[in-house]
Amino acid sequence: MSKVAFVFPGQGSQYVGMGKDLYERSDLARSFFEKADSILGFPLSSICFSGPEEELRQTRNTQPAIFLHSIVLVNLLKNPRADMTTGHSLGEYTALVFAGALRFEDGLQLVRLRGELMQQAGSQQPGTMAAVIGLERQTIEQICSEASEVGVVKPANLNAPGQDVISGSVPGVRRAMDLAQARKAKMVKELPVSGAFHSPLMQSAQEGLKDTLQKSDIRDARIPVYSNVTAKPMQKAAEVRSLLVEQLTSPVRWEESVRAMVQDGSRTFVEIGPGKVLQGLIRRTGSQVNVIGIDTWEDLSKL
């Protein structure tokens, strides 16, 4: 029998107005948004619904906002059953809550802290990220190696064939962008981010998060959660804890994770949360799978 995978989006999928229709139409959704505001001690729900965009785009707000929206949606599904799950960067925390390894309350506080620490690391060690479209991964690795003469730069998001993101210091990334253009990349674009995520420049965030993760109540997951770091399934609490720490400075091996899930029998991928980024990336892997997205009340009604 073909299996179902739930996948959860990460930073960059947010938009002003996200979740407002859910809040207005469902008591259960309203209770989640109100609970989140109460736990965090500020009106995250109104930032989701009304912005302003600059406020929603702050990493410390973006991460809990996307997490919350995804969790509300998955709780509004009737009998949400999946055989395996994963998420892109921040989305891995959402996947872990869905898989029962983290409680909602703990997951929310962790992603808020993670966002704050990443934003701080970006201020202390300024960096940037850039999307590179249309080059082989090996070429991107060579480019990063050459550009690292002028500053730190590494592959950060290995998203889909010919679609990757690099991350590091501003001089390192900009040098790599020049080299990518010289190698005839189809597109090279700097991203509007507050730091060099998934690079060595996130080390201070990693140290701060490690202390909290060590004290967090993490349990064994009830279904396999495919790790961004290894692109392999994880279920044991100890492994989850250590891989979440590693994740902050390691590349997100998204394409490999999708291929591993297909290999392990998944034929339907359901993206749960704002936007359509992951649906596009999954389709680009060329796997013969069914891809669905759930973002709004209307999407839920269609199901």
- Which of 45, 70, 89, 250 is labelled catalytic? 89
**Structure tokens belonging to residue 248:** 């902050």
Q: Which helix (H) or strand (E) holds 39?
A: helix 27-40
Edge-to-edge strands, sheet with 127-133: 153-160, 163-169, 127-133, 187-190
In order, the DSSP letters of 276-296 are: SHHHHHHHHTT---EEEEE-S
Is 89 labeled as catalytic in the residue annotation?
Answer: yes
How far is the CA of 22 from the CAs of 26, 55, 72, 162, in angstroms?
Answer: 6, 21, 8, 36
Edge-to-edge strands, sheet with 266-272: 233-234, 225-226, 84-87, 3-8, 266-272, 290-294
- Which of 13, 69, 194, 198 is labelled catalytic? 198
How far is the CA of 270 from the CAs of 154, 155, 294, in angstroms?
Answer: 30, 26, 7
With contact defined as beta carbons under 8 Å apart, do 242 and 270 qualify? no
Task: Identify the bridge partners of residue 132 per DSSP, sorted by sequence position.
Answer: 164, 188
Closest CA to 72 of 30, 12, 115: 30
Find the Cα–Cα–Cα–Cα dihedral 32, 109, 193, 146, rounded to 10°.
-140
With contact defined as beta carbons under 8 Å apart, do 255 and 159 qualify? yes
Is 88 labeled as catalytic in the residue annotation?
Answer: no
Report how far residue 190's alpha carbon sits from residue 129's, in angstroms, rounded to the nearest whole number: 6
Active site residues: 89, 198
